[in-house]
Each structure stands twice: as C-alpha cells, then as structure tokens.
Structure 1
Amino acid sequence: MQQPEAPPPVREPPPDSAAAVAARVREVVAAAGVSQREFARRVVMDPSKLSRSLGGTRRFTAAELARIADTAGADVGWLLGTRTPQTAPVRRGGRAATAPEGGRPRQIVRETVRLIAERGFHAVRVADIAEACATSTAAVHYHFPGRDDLLEAAVRWCMDEDTARRAARADDPDPAAELHRLIELQVPYTEQQRRQWLVWVDLWAEAARSTAVGRLHVDYYRQWRDTVADVLRRGVDQGVFRPGTDPQAAALSLTALIDGLAGQVLAAAPDGDGTSARAMHNALLAHVAATLTP
C-alpha cells in the first residue's frame, strides 16, 4: 500500500522569534475555546511546559508546534513566522472532517498505546505505528521525533484517560460508595481495562529506567493516592470509616494492593487458572471491610 507523503520538515524558529511564536500559540489556544490544561491534553503536551512556553520562559520545540498546528487546524508556517497564510491562520472548530479524530498526533498516540498493549513497548516499531495510522514513518517522526517522545506521550495519554474515567464517576456524597466505585474502575473486567493495565505494566519498567517517564509516573501516582486519601479522609470525618485511620497510609496500602492483584489477574491463564478479575474485586472489598469499616 502506497503511503501518503510526509509533511514538510519543520524548522526550528530563530532565537529572536520566541515571543512572537508564543503570541501566535496564545491566539490558537483562544480560538480553540478550551482551557489551557485541556488544550495541552489535546496536543499531548505537559501542561506546565505549555504554560512556561506561553509565558516566555521556555521555547516550543518544532514537534510541539507541529502537533499544535495539526490539532488546532492552524498553519504551521504561520506559527513559526516563516510565512503569512493566504487564508485565516486558525480555523475555528479545529481540523477538517476528513482528518483523524482528535488530529494526527492523538491518532498516533492511540495506536501506540494499542500496539504497546498487544506487543510490549520494545516490540513496537515506528513503522508499525505508521502502518496502523495509514501514514508514513516520516509523518510519525514529524510529530514525535524519537521513541522517548512517543513513550512519554503514551504515558500521558493513559494518565489522562484514567483521570477522566475517575472524574466522571466522582464526588459521590457517600465516601464508601465512591471508594467502591474507584476500586471497580481499577479492576480489569473489560478488554479496554485489561489493555490499559497491560500498558501500565509495560510502562512501569520503562519508568524505572527513564527519568522523564519516571517523573510522570511519580506525579500520576501521587495524584491517584491523593484522590483515594481524600475519599478516606471524608469517610473518617463522617464516621463511615474507622476513627483514627491515617488516610495517606491507608491509600498507599490500598493502591499497592490494587497494583499487585492486577498483576496477578493479567498473569492468569486464559483457561481460568489463576486470579480472576472477580477474585481481585472481592479481595479489595474484603480489605476495605477489614481495615476501614468501623
């Protein structure tokens, strides 16, 4: 199958254009009509890096500008200041209907995550990702120059998906019910949940070897444990959970148990020999009953 032509290479902007580039990106963000954090999620970028770049204390990389242009439907040459577009530099409403859902960068990351779940990170080639996206390897490198960039983007995508699922079912007035829902979301009942766990297990090993991914891993788990600890703290205050419970220590124990049991479920044989998702769920509920119930 003939691959589509790759986009033209993006040149790094000259040193004296950083402020002008940041101003044009701010215009793109405003035209998107979403928060700065949401825009960072869409372009698979660390929100703090986006904030620093917009504030002038950090320069955008060429790949970041390529992702911003692709996702927002902007003219990358206009963003870089290399040319003045003949039409509006930013299309309201984003990309054309023929573009991949969420833009090419998000498609690349989605397919990367799927392939990591199926084969493991080190078995996935850029050529495999390009084939899955019906594009060229040059187009993948255009948005994500190296494998480390793809790995970081895959970790960030998984974090965002997991956080969004939790947020959609949070803020129950009953802390016990909310904790049970958080636990249920972590049990790999569905194929999607199992795929997400397979990716996490693969990325844990990478986090131990990669400083950048390791920092993401630490930040994510801090947020996850804080979420659980907040629910436990409300439960203790309301008398739903055992008085004197240390929310942070209890959250650490519970999240560690979730991780260990999930690993056993993933390692179980297809014929049912081993820990099942239901057994994991029951064990977690039993742990809550034994350690937290008054």
Structure 2
Amino acid sequence: MQPEQRDDVAERVRKVIADAGVTQREFARRIVMDPSKLSRSLSGTRRFTAAELARVAATGGVDAGWLLGTPDAAPPARPRRGGAPLPEGGRPLQIVRETVRLIAEHGFHAVRVQDIAAACDTSSAAIHYHFPGRDDLLEAAVRWCIDEDTARRAARVADAADTADELRQLIELQIPRTARQRWQWSVWLDLWAEAARSTAVGRLHTDYYRQWRATVADVIRRGIAEGVFRPADPDADPEAVALRLTALIDGLAAQVLASVSGGGGTSPDDMHGALVAYVDATLLP
C-alpha cells in the first residue's frame, strides 16, 4: 500500500468514527483494538491490518471495499443489506463476548472456532474474517476483560465517601461472591496461564497489573495525605503495600474458586476478612 493510499484509508476510518458519534478510544473498544495502535494507524505511522479494517467496517456498518478505496464500492451511507440488525455493540464485540463466555465455561483450549460461530449464529469463516487466528481472539478477549474490569472499578468507586471507602469498594469488587464475579475470575485464571505462553497476552497482562496496582497505590497515597490512613510504618511505600495487597487478592480469589468447585475451604467471607485484616494492620494501626 502506497503512503497516499494509506492516508486515504485512515481518512475513511476517521469518517466512520465521526459518523459513529463516539470518541476514538470508545471506537477502539468497540473494534477490540489497542487505542495506541488505532492512533498510530490514523496518523499514518502504522498500517491497518485486514482484520482490523474488517472490524472497522462491521462496527461502522460500511463496506470494507469502500474503506480500501475499491472502485465502485458501496458508499458508507447505504442501508445494510437485508435490514438485519447488528448484534449489540457490533459483530466483533459479539464474537469476543461469546469467546469470553465459552472460556469461562470450558477453558480456552476446549473452545473451538465452530463453538464461537454457533454461539454468534454465524460461520467459522466470519470469525476468521474478524480474528484470523486463535491468538488474535485470545488477545481480543483479554483486552475486552481489561476494559470491562476498568469500567466496573470506575463505576464502583464513583460515589465513595472517602479514600478508605474507595479502597473497601475496590476490595469488595474483587471478591468472587456472585456467579458473575466467579465467572470473571474463572476467565482470568485461564488467561493467566496463557499469559505465560503468549508474548502479546503477557504484555497485556503486565500492563493491566501495572495499572491495577497503580490505582490501589494512588488510593493509599491519597488516604495517607488526607489522614484517613495512618500506616503502621510511617515510611511505608504505597506501591509496595499495593503490590502485597493485590497479590493477596489474587491468591485468595484462586482459593475461593477452588473451594466453590470442590466444597469447603476458603469462603468469600474468609477472603474479605483476611483482606480487611491486612488493610487494618497495615494502614489503620
């Protein structure tokens, strides 16, 4: 693709985003694409892949040929053929949501492309059109889980009374009490194992945990500055406290899930009590 052709494609994608009436970051979420990759592709320093353009076209309801500048391709304003409504959020998001659901129920390696296609009421070829390989699907599933978790955290702490309440809300959100929370943790445990084998997933995993620990450390730092937290150790490093607390959350959550499956063992209340005891001993002497 020549540079001027690449610029034309980027300009058409910008039009699709503008017509969608959402921010560039939100559109990246809808097509399950790294926002920084979308930004670089729009600026011309990175080339869109065929699969990314397929997801842009599906989400924006435009002809993929039009995005590529194919002569006589249908313009973006055309009605969708057959008038069939798009799945909520578009086909790419539907594929990723169903992939995550199937991973939670069966484990990643037990999920076949045919299973995902059946869940989406489409063909295997359509799945490969948007996500050419299993690695692409896995990376998209991890990204979707990260985006969902980040949004839930932001909503949960929005009305917190103070930083102590904010930390309590973050902790409570991580305890697998409900079926949905256990479902989310089941997905994470499966994806953690894949992160050890996949460079792309491992990088996403590292970035997510860096962000998650930074969020917890920021709450602790603000609590100390406001006098809400009074550390047992006046020289306590918020980052170190956050590292230990998030590691404790992960370990206890894994025990709770194993206990739910096998009966007995560590309960959600046990997990909550251990985490509150740690916070009290560390930050509220």
- Measured at CA, do residues 271 and 263 of structure 1 come closer, stay the same or move farther in structure 2, by a change above 3 Å? closer
The one-letter code of the counterpart of 1:46 is: D
Question: Which segments of 5 or more consecutive residues in structure 2 lack a partner in the other structure?
Answer: none
Say whether the 8 Å CA contact 1:75–1:90 is kept in structure 2.
no
The one-letter code of the counterpart of 2:281 is: A
Say whether the 8 Å CA contact 1:28–1:90 is kept in structure 2.
no
- Measured at CA, do residues 137 and 72 of structure 1 come closer, stay the same or move farther in structure 2, by a change above 3 Å? same
The one-letter code of the counterpart of 1:193 is: Q
Say whether the 8 Å CA contact 1:236–1:242 is kept in structure 2.
yes
Shift of 1:76: 1.2
Corresponding position: 1:136 with 2:127: no
TM-score normalised per structure 2: 0.93
SS of aligned partner of 1:209: coil
In the other structure, the counterpart of 1:65 is 53
Shift of 1:202: 0.7
The one-letter code of the counterpart of 2:132 is: P
The one-letter code of the counterpart of 2:6 is: A
Question: Which segments of 5 or more consecutive residues in structure 1 lack a partner in the other structure?
Answer: 1-12
Shift of 1:275: 0.8
- Measured at CA, do residues 14 and 63 of structure 1 come closer, stay the same or move farther in structure 2, by a change above 3 Å? farther
Instruction: Name which of structure 1's ranges 71-80 and 213-222 shifts more when overlaid on structure 2.
Output: 71-80
Say whether the 8 Å CA contact 1:72–1:90 is kept in structure 2.
no
Say whether the 8 Å CA contact 1:22–1:55 is kept in structure 2.
yes
In the other structure, the counterpart of 1:8 is none
RMSD (Å), alpha carbons: 1.7
Corresponding position: 1:289 with 2:280: yes
How many angstroms apart in 1 are the aligned matches of 2:24 and 2:184?
Answer: 26
Q: How many residues align?
A: 278
Say whether the 8 Å CA contact 1:187–1:262 is kept in structure 2.
yes
How many angstroms apart in 1 are the aligned matches of 2:223 and 2:122?
Answer: 51
Q: Say which structure is richer in helix.
A: 2
In the other structure, the counterpart of 2:86 is 99
In the other structure, the counterpart of 1:186 is 174
In the other structure, the counterpart of 1:273 is 264
Where has structure 1 moved over 6 Å in runs of 4 or more? none
Say whether the 8 Å CA contact 1:242–1:292 is kept in structure 2.
yes
In the other structure, the counterpart of 1:209 is 197
The one-letter code of the counterpart of 2:33 is: M
The one-letter code of the counterpart of 1:291 is: T
In the other structure, the counterpart of 1:81 is 69
How many angstroms apart in 2 are the aligned matches of 1:205 and 1:100?
Answer: 30
Shift of 1:270: 4.5
Shift of 1:97: 6.8
Corresponding position: 1:167 with 2:154: yes
In the other structure, the counterpart of 2:252 is 261
SS of aligned partner of 1:236: helix
In the other structure, the counterpart of 1:26 is 14
How many angstroms apart in 2 are the aligned matches of 1:154 and 1:99?
Answer: 20
Say whether the 8 Å CA contact 1:63–1:142 is kept in structure 2.
yes
Shift of 1:84: 3.8
How many angstroms apart in 2 are the aligned matches of 1:204 and 1:283?
Answer: 23
How many angstroms apart in 2 are the aligned matches of 1:199 and 1:168?
Answer: 21
SS of aligned partner of 1:268: helix
Report Cα offsets for 1:15-74 as digits up to 9, x if no partner. 752111011001111111211111100110000100000000000011101101111112
In the other structure, the counterpart of 1:47 is 35
Shift of 1:170: 2.3
Instruction: Name which of structure 1's ranges 223-232 and 235-244 shifts more when overlaid on structure 2.
Output: 235-244
How many angstroms apart in 2 are the aligned matches of 1:16 and 1:32?
Answer: 25
TM-score normalised per structure 1: 0.90
- Measured at CA, do residues 90 and 56 of structure 1 come closer, stay the same or move farther in structure 2, by a change above 3 Å? farther
SS of aligned partner of 2:46: coil
- Could you tell me which of 212, 224, 244 is aligned with 1:236? 224
Shift of 1:83: 3.4
SS of aligned partner of 1:25: helix
The equivalences for 1:208-227 within 5 A come to 208-227=196-215
- Measured at CA, do residues 91 and 191 of structure 1 come closer, stay the same or move farther in structure 2, by a change above 3 Å? farther
SS of aligned partner of 2:196: helix
Report Cα offsets for 1:189-223 as digits up to 9, x if no partner. 11111111111111111111111111100000011
How many angstroms apart in 1 are the aligned matches of 2:154 and 2:36?
Answer: 21
